Amino acid sequence: MNNIIPPKLKSGDTIRIIAPSNSGKILTAQQKKIAEKRFKDIDISITYGGSTFENFAFDSASIKSKIKDLHQAFKDEKVRGIIAVRGGYNANELLDYIDWNIIKNNPKIFCGFSDITVLHNAIFAMTGLVTYHSPNFSNFGQSYNFDYTFEYFTKSLMAESPYVISPSNEWNDDKWWENQNDIKLMHNEGYILLNPCQERNYAGKILGGNISSFALLQGTQYFPDLNNSILLIEDDELVDIQIFNRYLDSILQQKNSDKIHAIIIGRFQRGSGVSVEDFREIIRSKEKLKNIPVVFGVDVGHTTPQSTIPIGGVLNVRIMKDKVGLEVIEH
């Protein structure tokens, strides 16, 4: 199956906000206003799916409503991009109801993270469409420390050229949605190589995202082929080091896991209690990972800021004597 790169966003385009996971009802009027203005400033219009703010059960719209919104967003010729309003817990309930031909025949930008990982990887496995592990729409409602996030969002979705993912200067892990003024920035130490490997380039298609969501696809037709891949993994404060270790082992037991070229790990939330040394010990215990780079501390996932990374796109991990370089070369 050939990869499908969707057309880039441009000035004057419209994007559709949908809720394939949990409902957008938690957004405050202020957060919604800030998010909408960010897109207005780059001349992108916002429309909403009919069930984006619906709460049928379990903090979510009904399966029927969510499928309707997803299909309509892909079929609507006026819509050039689709962004999940937030993550949550139940995107995988949609998989058996999706008409994959609608997505394949109407390729367009699809964005989100966390539970949306399920859809990113299933879409790529079933159609070959490259999607984007990016902030959810709700994240665009953050007032401060968003410049890095917005820069990489536009680099990935509005430009054609390859781009280097450099570490942010500072990061935070505060509940900004509860208090926009209570943000404590911390110095970013940059990328950390967790295991020794040869100094060279390691390139491959990017798969994964939120590790606990990615693991839900194992054993199904929606799990993507790990051959020639770069595995992206991150998670939130609910995943401690033992849970992470279990998930990682389950992925490494999948077909073609020995064909993974590199692993990049997003910064975990402080509440997880996971340290760099914890990660290093686990990675060095895996026989399959002894000769490939495993890089920790990438700005992706549940801390702020976030880069945007194409699932199904191509990433080059460059290992040099005293430096790690990450470059998205196909997106």
> Which residue range(s) make up the domain with 47?
14-162
CB 62 within 8 A of CB 27: no
> Do residues 182 and 149 share a domain?
no
> Do residues 140 and 266 share a domain?
no
CB 73 within 8 A of CB 16: yes
**What pLDDT does residue 272 have?**
76
> Do residues 73 and 141 share a domain?
yes
Tracing tokens 């025949």 back to the chain, one arrives at 105
> Do residues 74 and 156 share a domain?
yes
> Do residues 185 and 325 share a domain?
yes
Which of 162, 184, 210 terminates a domain? The answer is 162
> Positive or negative, the Cα torsion across 128, 326, 43, 69?
positive
- Cα distances (Å, whole numbers) of residue 318 to 181, 226, 237, 242: 38, 20, 29, 29
Residue 243 corresponds to which tokens in the numbers above?
């849970």
Residue type, 278: D
**For the chain, where are the alpha helices, taking DSSP H only?**
29-40, 63-75, 100-105, 117-127, 147-158, 211-214, 241-252, 276-284
Which of 162, 187, 210 terminates a domain? The answer is 162
Beta strands in 98-210 (DSSP E): 109-112, 131-133, 163-164, 170-171, 186-187, 192-193, 201-210
Q: What does pLDDT average to in each consecutive run of 10 residues of the chain (331 residues)?
A: 91 97 93 95 97 89 96 98 96 98 98 97 98 96 90 95 95 77 83 92 97 96 98 87 93 97 90 82 92 94 92 96 92 93
CB 274 within 8 A of CB 297: no
In a domain, 1, yes or no: no
> Do residues 198 and 122 share a domain?
no
Residue 299 corresponds to which tokens in the numbers above?
């700005």
Q: Using CA atoms, how far apart are residues 53 and 171, in angstroms rounded to an integer?
A: 30
In a domain, 8, yes or no: no
> Do residues 216 and 280 share a domain?
yes
Which CATH number belongs to the domain containing residue 94 in this structure?
3.40.50.10740
**What pLDDT does residue 177 have?**
73
Q: pTM of the prediction?
A: 0.96
> Do residues 250 and 323 share a domain?
yes
- Residues annotated as catalytic are 114, 234, 302
> Do residues 153 and 93 share a domain?
yes
Residue 32 backbone class (left: φ over 0; alpha: ψ -120 to 50; beta: rest) = alpha
**What pLDDT does residue 132 have?**
98
Q: How many CB atoms lie within 10 A of CB 220?
A: 12
CB 296 within 8 A of CB 233: no
> Positive or negative, the Cα torsion across 256, 262, 266, 268?
positive
In a domain, 252, yes or no: yes
**What pLDDT does residue 1 have?**
67
Which CATH number belongs to the domain containing residue 323 in this structure?
3.50.30.60
